[in-house]
Chain A
């Protein structure tokens, strides 16, 4: 029989709930002070100033060892922190990658020198990382990367180009997936990861604007960039394995179903006012259906987060959460729009109108980023042992 997907219920811990209240109070204060406005898909909004505030509060690198600037707290505490930030629509884009995946990755594969140099800076909110995976001809087919590094005295000479690197223009560093030996029959062999600092000579960057004209993507070009041996992450030739494990960090967190939650929250009050005038039972059921789906996704996502703490491999479960969650994210703005329109709410006015436009323009990315859902579903079926 095929492998079964399991999502045993996990409860938040009292520590996580305590932290949640602290974060909630902090966010209330920041919102009231106008230090940020609630955004749809707020991990696509970068505010180094806000990230530094989180760093100073000790809320970045929360689960990491103290030695590397962390607070040695649990994955569920980090989970509660993250969902509070996202549900409030806070601008978390600057530190997002470094906190979510670079830190854990350095912990797993990095050298002691790399950890001590970069992780405490990340945890303070002073150092941000960008992802260096996709290329013009390597999207879903990541192993097709052509960026390559050639052996030279004391290090590697890096040449190639990376695309879709969110907030590289705010970031200090990037971990670049590249080919360090020619392609063989096994196309997953010969790949490595190099940590580059983005102000090194030979690096050029230009913005790639998204469909809304916003700048968070970048193209980063490497032209004979010297990378010393000390900046190899993990083992030369093991890049594929490392990158797959890195992708797993970004799979099933609350950002896979809460990205557009602020839109839902801002729908409620104007909707309630409209429904007083002309109540519509169908609308209330549709609204409830959205909440049901969030609650259901949250159960699954918390289950994965809780069990990750024990170190088990949950790649399939995480992939399922990401597929279900991001398809929901894709539909939420559309459904919120329908509800609002039927109730007679104006679609282009006020906070709701702003969040809706933002959500509609940003939603197409939900089922693309971190690997398309089509690729993900193929992996789920393989993981279940069916092919």
Chain B
């Protein structure tokens, strides 16, 4: 990490700590756009961090960007920073201009053809211009809709806007050939979401261990009970596993840009699958340790656990990514799987 990225990381931490409070997250869940937070991220260059310098960005490596997204997840950020970055990267790749302000994406699914017609689950579709990947598998096209037609406003179980749009009835401002294909689009989104999940998981562990140290029952702190220690250790392991998987995927994905080499893709598949797989036990343990207190609206634990329950389904569930991996394994067969596994994680940067 160089000085710039270190500075950016510190700044991002500070901004979120100051402005992404429990109260702010509540307000966002009531439908309010966290404008002060967004503006501060914009002023400090966070929103453009991944963009090339000629687009006013810091040309941050994907792995450093992922570190910032972990911070945003650690503070349960209600803003679509990942979506904004994904849109920005795709627009830069396609040499399309970048509309002012925050952007969102049609997360798209497995098929490029989905970019036509109505789309559910678009983050902040009611408020932001959206970028979608259309065209065909062979000739993907990037499309920008500055004022998409909203069919229905909706939210995920974390209270984050996930709206249904009708792109066929929306006016498309820009439409250009995309160098980014459907899989790259989906997997970059998955990588970014996994990073947010890693941050939220870390916070769940910290909240749970702090609570276990402070809370006393039977005259002793909870952490003095072996039953609680066992659960905390399992939680710590899940968090560490997700963090490691996300870091490895970010490094591998850095070198995976439109090449046919799909190793980076499988690193991301592992990361998103592992992150989504961790959610069940990590949220269960966190809530169990917090007892009834953590089940109240007042306690902030749910700001993390509800996000995890939502995010594990976005940009591909663990079932989606594990299926991709499972199919690859069957194709490789018993003799081919192990050599494939030892190639995961990519090579050391030169």
Instruction: Check if B333 sits within 8 Å of A269, measured CB to CB.
Output: yes
**How many whole Å from B336's CB to the nearest CB in chain A?**
9
**Any chain B CB within 8 A of the CB of A179?**
no
Stretch at the interface among B31-39, B44-52, B318-326: B318-326
**Any chain B CB within 8 A of the CB of A114?**
no
Q: Given A11-B348, A269-B333, is A381 in contact with B233 using a C-beta cutoff of 8 Å?
A: yes
Which of B270, B326, B345, B347: most chain A Cβ within 10 A? B326
Residues of B within 8 A of A376 (CB): 233
Instruction: Check if B274 sits within 8 Å of A296, measured CB to CB.
Output: yes
Q: Given A298-B341, A381-B223, is A268 in contact with B333 using a C-beta cutoff of 8 Å?
A: yes
**Any chain A CB within 8 A of the CB of B128?**
no
Q: Chain B, 335-349, contact with A by CB distance < 8 Å: what is the 0/1 string?
A: 101110110111110
Q: Chain B, 207-239, contact with A by CB distance < 8 Å: what is the 0/1 string?
A: 001001100000000011010011011101101
Instruction: Check if A293 sits within 8 Å of B333, measured CB to CB.
Output: no
Bound complex: CA A172 to CA B91 (Å)? 68
Q: Given A20-B342, A381-B233, A387-B224, is A287 in contact with B241 using a C-beta cutoff of 8 Å?
A: no
Residues of B within 8 A of A294 (CB): 341
Instruction: Check if A288 sits within 8 Å of B324, measured CB to CB.
Output: yes
Stretch at the interface among A2-10, A214-222, A240-248: A2-10
Bound complex: CA A225 to CA B230 (Å)? 41
**How many whole Å from B326's CB to the nearest CB in chain A?**
3
**How many whole Å from B248's CB to the nearest CB in chain A?**
5
**Any chain A CB within 8 A of the CB of B245?**
yes
Instruction: Check if A295 sits within 8 Å of B322, measured CB to CB.
Output: no
**Any chain B CB within 8 A of the CB of A299?**
yes
Instruction: Check if A272 sits within 8 Å of B209, measured CB to CB.
Output: no
Stretch at the interface among A91-99, A144-152, A184-192, A278-286: A278-286
Residues of B within 8 A of A289 (CB): 273, 277, 318, 322, 326
**Any chain A CB within 8 A of the CB of B244?**
yes
**Which residue of the partner chain, among A20, A268, A324, contacts B334 with CB atoms under 8 Å?**
A268
Residues of A within 8 A of B338 (CB): 87, 261, 265
**How many whole Å from B232's CB to the nearest CB in chain A?**
5
Bound complex: CA A261 to CA B212 (Å)? 37
**Any chain B CB within 8 A of the CB of A83?**
yes
Residues of B within 8 A of A323 (CB): 233-234, 237
Bound complex: CA A281 to CA B206 (Å)? 37
Instruction: Check if B330 sits within 8 Å of A275, measured CB to CB.
Output: yes
Residues of B within 8 A of A272 (CB): 330, 333
**Any chain A CB within 8 A of the CB of B139?**
no
Which of B245, B318, B333, B347: most chain A Cβ within 10 A? B245
**Any chain A CB within 8 A of the CB of B55?**
no
**How many whole Å from A318's CB to the nearest CB in chain B?**
12
Interface size class of chain B, counting residues whose CB lies under 8 Å from the partner chain: 35 or more
Residues of B within 8 A of A285 (CB): 318-319, 322-323, 326
Q: Chain A, 253-290, contact with B by CB distance < 8 Å: what is the 0/1 string?
A: 00000000100111111011001000001011111110
Residues of A within 8 A of B341 (CB): 291, 294-295, 298
Instruction: Check if A2 sits within 8 Å of B244, measured CB to CB.
Output: no
**Chain A minimum-CB-distance residue to B241:** A296
Q: Given A295-B344, A299-B244, is A378 in contact with B226 using a C-beta cutoff of 8 Å?
A: yes
**Any chain A CB within 8 A of the CB of B327?**
yes
- Give how many A residues have a beta carbon under 8 Å from the other chain's beta carbons: 57
Bound complex: CA A387 to CA B224 (Å)? 7
Instruction: Check if A284 sits within 8 Å of B327, measured CB to CB.
Output: yes
**Any chain B CB within 8 A of the CB of A297?**
yes
**Any chain B CB within 8 A of the CB of A384?**
yes
Instruction: Check if A295 sits within 8 Å of B223, measured CB to CB.
Output: no
**Chain A minimum-CB-distance residue to B251:** A9
**Any chain B CB within 8 A of the CB of A102?**
no
Residues of B within 8 A of A380 (CB): 233, 236-237
Instruction: Check if B274 sits within 8 Å of A377, measured CB to CB.
Output: no
**Chain A minimum-CB-distance residue to B339:** A24
**Any chain B CB within 8 A of the CB of A303?**
yes
**Any chain A CB within 8 A of the CB of B247?**
yes
**Any chain B CB within 8 A of the CB of A176?**
no
Bound complex: CA A87 to CA B320 (Å)? 26
Residues of A within 8 A of B342 (CB): 12, 20, 80, 83
Q: Chain B, 279-302, contact with A by CB distance < 8 Å: what is the 0/1 string?
A: 000000000000000000000000
**How many whole Å from B9's CB to the nearest CB in chain A?**
15
Residues of A within 8 A of B248 (CB): 9, 299
Bound complex: CA A294 to CA B251 (Å)? 19
**Any chain A CB within 8 A of the CB of B329?**
yes
**Chain A minimum-CB-distance residue to B231:** A377
**Any chain A CB within 8 A of the CB of B240?**
yes
**How many whole Å from B316's CB to the nearest CB in chain A?**
12
Residues of A within 8 A of B230 (CB): 374, 377-378
**Which residue of the partner chain, among A1, A8, A292, contacts B325 with CB atoms under 8 Å?**
A292
Bound complex: CA A210 to CA B8 (Å)? 57
Q: Given A13-B348, A289-B273, A378-B229, is A386 in contact with B209 using a C-beta cutoff of 8 Å?
A: yes
**How many whole Å from A345's CB to the nearest CB in chain B?**
13
**Any chain B CB within 8 A of the CB of A300?**
yes
Bound complex: CA A300 to CA B237 (Å)? 10
**Any chain A CB within 8 A of the CB of B160?**
no
Bound complex: CA A381 to CA B232 (Å)? 7
Within 8 A of A (CB), among B152-189: none
Bound complex: CA A7 to CA B240 (Å)? 7
Residues of B within 8 A of A80 (CB): 342
**Any chain A CB within 8 A of the CB of B243?**
yes
Instruction: Check if B229 sits within 8 Å of A381, measured CB to CB.
Output: yes
Bound complex: CA A269 to CA B230 (Å)? 38
Bound complex: CA A292 to CA B190 (Å)? 15
Which of A8, A269, A300: most chain B Cβ within 10 A? A300
Which of A272, A286, A386: most chain B Cβ within 10 A? A386
Which of A265, A275, A387: most chain B Cβ within 10 A? A387
**Any chain B CB within 8 A of the CB of A320?**
yes
Instruction: Check if B326 sits within 8 Å of A287, measured CB to CB.
Output: yes
Residues of A within 8 A of B (CB): 1-2, 5, 7-9, 11-13, 20, 24, 80, 83, 87, 261, 264-269, 271-272, 275, 281, 283-289, 291-300, 302-303, 317, 320, 323-324, 374, 376-378, 380-381, 384, 386-387
Rank and list the top 10 A-B pairs by shortest CB-CB distance, nearest first.
Answer: A288-B326, A288-B322, A377-B233, A11-B348, A288-B325, A284-B326, A7-B244, A287-B326, A380-B233, A381-B229
Q: List 9 A-B contacts (CB under 8 A).
A: A9-B244, A9-B345, A286-B326, A293-B274, A296-B241, A317-B240, A378-B229, A381-B232, A387-B223
Known contacts A292-B269, A387-B229; 8 additional CB pairs below 8 A are A281-B323, A285-B322, A286-B326, A292-B321, A295-B245, A295-B345, A302-B345, A324-B237
